[in-house]
Structures are given as C-alpha cells and as structure tokens.
Copies of this chain bind each other. A is one copy, B any other.
Amino acid sequence: MNKTISLAQGNGGLENNELIKEVFYKSFKNDILAKSEDASIIEKNLAFTSDSFTINPIFFKGGDIGKLSICGTCNDLAMMGAKPKYISSAFMIEEGFSLELLKKIAESMRKELQINGAKIICGDTKILPKGSLDKIFINTSGIGLVAQDGISSNNIKQDDCIIISSSIARHGASIFASRKGIEISSELKSDCTSLWPIVEALIKNKIEIRALRDATRGGISAVLNEWAKQSNINIEVDEEKIPICEQVQGICEMLGFEPYDLANEGTFVLALKQSEVQKALDVLHSFDASKEAVVVARVSKNTKDLSQKVILKSSWGTKRFLDLPSGELLPRIC
C-alpha cells in the first residue's frame, strides 16, 4: 500500500477492502466486526450500522444529502432484515452554510424517516470554520430490530437465483452527469429510495431470503464479488438481463465507466432458492421502486478451474469475468 491515502481507497472495491483490512480490522479485530455486513447484529436481535454522507452536489435529481443520509442507513438495516428504528444524526457544517438549505435537508430527513417508521433520537452538531470542509457532511447511525434473521452473504447455495430489483447505476450516472454539467433527459434521476417497505413485504409474505444487499459504492460488481467469495460459489450472470436504462448506458459509454461498478442508492440484489423466485417477483413488482425486478443470475459451484468468480455471459455465448471494482471511481458519490 502507498504511504498516503488515495481516492481509490474509498471506491467500495478492491483498494477500499485492502485499507479496511490493513488498518481498521487490525486494530479493531473482534468476532462481531468479523461477521459485519451492511450492519452488525448485536444482542437481543438488534442490528447496528453507521454511514457518513459527503455527496457533491448536495441537492441532486431524485434527492439530497438529507434524504440520502436516511435512506442509506435505513437501507443498510433493511438489508439485514431489520426494521429501522432509532437513528442518530451528526451534522458537520461549514461556517456560512445557508440556514434555509439546512432546514430543507432536515425536512427531507423527516419525510424519509416517516417512510421507514424510524426516529432520530440523538445527534451532534459541529460548525467548522470556512474551508475546513465542503458545505455539509452528515453521519447517521442506526439501530434496527431484526424481523428475519439468518440473512447473510455466507448463505448462498448452488442453483440459487439472483434478482436485481431495478435498473442499475442511476445514482452514480446522474450524480456524475450533474457534476460535469452534462444535460440529461428529465427521466434520469438517482434511484435514492427507502427499501424497508419492500423488504417488509418480502418478509410478511414469508419469502425465504438467503442474502440481500443494496448495491451502493462499487455497484453490483462489489456485491456479487463479495457474495461469490463469502459463500464460496460462482455466480453466472446473463449480462443482457441486467436492467440498464438508455441514458445510463449513454453516460457510461461517453465516460468509459462500467455501469456494474457505479453506485445505486435504492437498488438491491437478492439471492434466494429457485422455488421462491416467483413469489418474490410478485411482491417486488407490486412496488414502484422494484417493478423492473428480474432474475439476472444463477449460482453454480466452484470447479477445478473456476472458484469464487462472477461470470458475465453474453447472448452470443461469450464469457468474461466481472471483477471487484478497482482504481478511482467517482468520489463523493454518497
């Protein structure tokens, strides 16, 4: 590793994992941290998670830093099968920031808390001198009550199916476009949304979920690669089944990004056994945010030559590996 921290080390991919392993896991090593996924499970069926939000621009098509800060943390809880319940909010604000915008951000948070049925119950406010930070950062930490346990990236088995809930990379692509001043169609906006209502419906309909993960930093590449490793399986993806909208495709081609690596903020990946697929799709299709949900991949066991790999298969019969993202992706995306 280099002697100084690089942007790539925040990409949600390879270098990010290395940094966490090399520095934080070494100092903070313990049983619970070792099993931590989107959130950690602690005594009495509680899930605990924390996330900081530093997005630029702070207002974007489809949301703002306030909405994002609640969706992000509540979604991390939901992805562990936990109902978001208690949230902390810690604001770091640059001197001179607009009071009106701060109120708007707080109102976005309020609305999103309501959707989740969660409350902010403690917090912190730091004001920093001009130039010490760019506008505003928000940390939210959350405690959720586990409604279905056993959801884990270690659980996926041979022949399981993998569903993607909606068209991918809209958050990353629209943030990038707005940052670069690229004119985009009014249809393209961030997928930023709260996922607990959908997860709650899956649980209420007794769908047996093996693994669940929102595809944030590092996109679906990061999720699928982590799952392949954690569950010690191969994942065979039908590339053309992955829903990608035209505008996202256009932006990615223009900029040389792989849409699979780009961040989502309301799109998730779901693994379950084949017999559960139709029931799950019926539930998912009843929600606006997951009406495009589709099976995109199937799990196969490791072979002598292929182990813990994500394989993209095209309709022409070609195959390539989808690797963990590496290098500098978009910084300040969440």
Closest B residue to A98 by beta carbon equals: B4
A223 to B: closest C-beta gap in Å: 16
- On whether the beta carbons of B33 and A120 are closer than 8 Å, the reply is yes
- On whether the beta carbons of B119 and A30 are closer than 8 Å, the reply is yes
Complex: A169 Cα to B181 Cα, angstroms: 49
What residues on B are CB-neighbors of A149 within 8 Å?
Answer: none
What residues on B are CB-neighbors of A40 within 8 Å?
Answer: 86, 121-122
Q: Which of A143-173 contact B (CB under 8 A)?
A: 143
Q: Which of A42-93 contact B (CB under 8 A)?
A: 42, 44, 46, 48-52, 54, 56, 86, 88-93
Interface check A115, CB cutoff 8 A? no
Contact indicator per residue, chain A 94-118, by CB within 8 Å of chain B (1) or not (0) = 1111111011001101100100000
Q: Give the oligomeric copy count.
A: 2
What residues on B are CB-neighbors of A50 within 8 Å?
Answer: 88-90, 122-124, 139, 141
Interface check A7, CB cutoff 8 A? yes
What residues on B are CB-neighbors of A6 within 8 Å?
Answer: 95-96, 127
- On whether the beta carbons of B36 and A122 are closer than 8 Å, the reply is yes
Determine which of B30, B39, B128 lies in contact with A331 in the assembled complex, contact meaning CB atoms within 8 Å: B128
A96 to B: closest C-beta gap in Å: 5
A17-25, A183-191, A230-238, A314-322: which lies at the interface: A17-25
- On whether the beta carbons of B33 and A121 are closer than 8 Å, the reply is yes
Complex: A51 Cα to B54 Cα, angstroms: 16
Complex: A19 Cα to B26 Cα, angstroms: 39
What residues on B are CB-neighbors of A49 within 8 Å?
Answer: 88, 122
Complex: A141 Cα to B49 Cα, angstroms: 9
Complex: A49 Cα to B87 Cα, angstroms: 10
Would A332 and B132 be within 8 Å (CB), given that A119-B33, A143-B143 are in contact?
yes
- On whether the beta carbons of A28 and B141 are closer than 8 Å, the reply is no
Complex: A105 Cα to B109 Cα, angstroms: 32
Q: Which of A1-35 contact B (CB under 8 A)?
A: 1-10, 16, 19-20, 23-24, 26-28, 30, 32-33
- On whether the beta carbons of A36 and B121 are closer than 8 Å, the reply is yes
What residues on B are CB-neighbors of A132 within 8 Å?
Answer: 54, 56, 133-134, 332
- On whether the beta carbons of A97 and B5 are closer than 8 Å, the reply is yes
A185 to B: closest C-beta gap in Å: 28
What residues on B are CB-neighbors of A278 within 8 Å?
Answer: none
Complex: A102 Cα to B49 Cα, angstroms: 22
Interface check A256, CB cutoff 8 A? no
- On whether the beta carbons of A137 and B127 are closer than 8 Å, the reply is no
What residues on B are CB-neighbors of A106 within 8 Å?
Answer: 23-24, 26-28
Would A54 and B126 be within 8 Å (CB), given that A48-B86, A109-B27 are in contact?
yes
What residues on B are CB-neighbors of A99 within 8 Å?
Answer: 1-5, 23
Other A-B pairs, 6, CB within 8 Å; known A23-B99, A50-B124, A54-B128? A2-B99, A3-B100, A4-B96, A33-B122, A48-B88, A52-B92
Sample (20) of A-B pairs whose CB atoms are under 8 Å apart: A3-B98, A4-B99, A5-B95, A5-B99, A19-B125, A26-B106, A28-B123, A30-B120, A32-B119, A33-B121, A40-B121, A42-B86, A48-B143, A50-B90, A51-B124, A95-B331, A128-B331, A129-B332, A131-B134, A141-B141
